[in-house]
Amino acid sequence: MTDYRELFDLTGRKALVLGAGSGIGRASAEAMAALGAELHCADLDLAAAEATAKAIVTAGGAASASRADAADARDVEALVKRARTSLGRIDIAVTTPGINIRKLVLDYTEAEFDRIVALNLKGTFLFFQAVGRAMVAQRGGSIIACSSIRAATIEPGLAIYGATKAAISLLVKGFAAEVGGAGVRVNAIAPGVIETALTAPIKHRPDIHAAYAKHTVLGRWGEASEVASAVAFLASDAASYISGTTLFIDAGWTAIDGPPTGLTQAKG
């Protein structure tokens, strides 16, 4: 009989998380460490990455930290070299950095457009190249990128951000096809409305915050830990036959057209 507990166990695995200083990145690092992985935590904010690593060590795990700019090719290359030196190899690689400037397309400046694309899309591409080369050479690994529900459904002011996230989902498919023969899996997560630093400004608009919650079939925002659990799953052998996909973690946001109503929801 298959040992299903063992499939989810990450003991002995070596994991690199870029964006580990906060939000989904930090939660993902903590989740994988809790399941036995050794972590290298990286972030543009070195102090934040070090804080995540310290929290993991305090909890009984193993972790190191360093600084890296996800949008800088040399930084990403250097990060992967440091992580390989620190960990010995990289079995799992997760990248979560992303930004959004909420503006209508007609109001965007070229500089703003370039900034969003450079971090969200180019940053993912650079990460894929650097960790992909290492994993192809070692004949195995799991790479996880961060897309969004905005890859599939949009609203005014999110077109540029959504375009980068849709591109990430397609990049995942293409890259998975290219490295699958070497035993490397490539997937993405697509979070819905999650309480993170990126979405924190929405809390200052209680009406919008509540409207977003009501758009999900569960009627609430998600926590970073709920996304991290999906990351840990994709990193594990429990997901050994999953590659080239984007896993939506959105409480049904993309499953329905408009918010649920009392008429259509079952009463307990």
**Tens-place pLDDT, residues 140-150:** 999 999 999 99
**Tens-place pLDDT, residues 46-78:** 999 999 999 999 999 999 999 999 999 999 999
CA atoms within 13 A on the CB side of 145: 38
**What dotted CATH number matches 4-247?**
3.40.50.720
Enumerate the active-site residues.
Answer: 161
The CA-atom distances, in angstroms, between 118 and each of 105, 123, 244 are 17, 6, 22
What's the pLDDT at 65? Answer: 98
What's the pLDDT at 266? Answer: 55
pLDDT tens by residue, the chain, 268 residues: 999 999 999 999 999 999 999 999 999 999 999 999 999 999 999 999 999 999 999 999 999 999 999 999 999 999 999 999 999 999 999 999 999 999 999 999 999 999 999 999 999 999 999 999 999 999 999 999 999 999 999 999 999 999 999 999 999 999 999 999 999 999 999 999 999 877 778 878 888 899 999 999 999 999 999 999 999 999 999 999 999 999 999 999 999 987 776 555 555 5
**Tens-place pLDDT, residues 150-173:** 999 999 999 999 999 999 999 999
What's the pLDDT at 41? Answer: 98
Q: Give the start-to-end residue ranges of the domains of the chain.
A: 4-247
What's the pLDDT at 268? Answer: 55
d(CA 78, CA 169): 25
Residue of 246, 96, 101, 98 whose CA lies nearest to 159: 101
> To which residue do tokens 């190249």 refer?
129
What's the pLDDT at 201? Answer: 80
d(CA 8, CA 243): 16
**Average pLDDT along the chain:** 95
SS (H, E, C) the chain: CCCHHHHHCCCCCEEEEECCCCHHHHHHHHHHHHCCCEEEEEECCHHHHHHHHHHHHHCCCCEEEEECCCCCHHHHHHHHHHHHHHHCCCCEEEECCCCCCCCCHHHCCHHHHHHHHHHHHHHHHHHHHHHHHHHHHHCCEEEEEECCHHHCCCCCCCHHHHHHHHHHHHHHHHHHHHHHHHCEEEEEEEECCECCCCCHHHHHCHHHHHHHHHHCCCCCCECHHHHHHHHHHHHCHHHCCCCCCEEEECCCHHHCCCCCCCCCCCCC
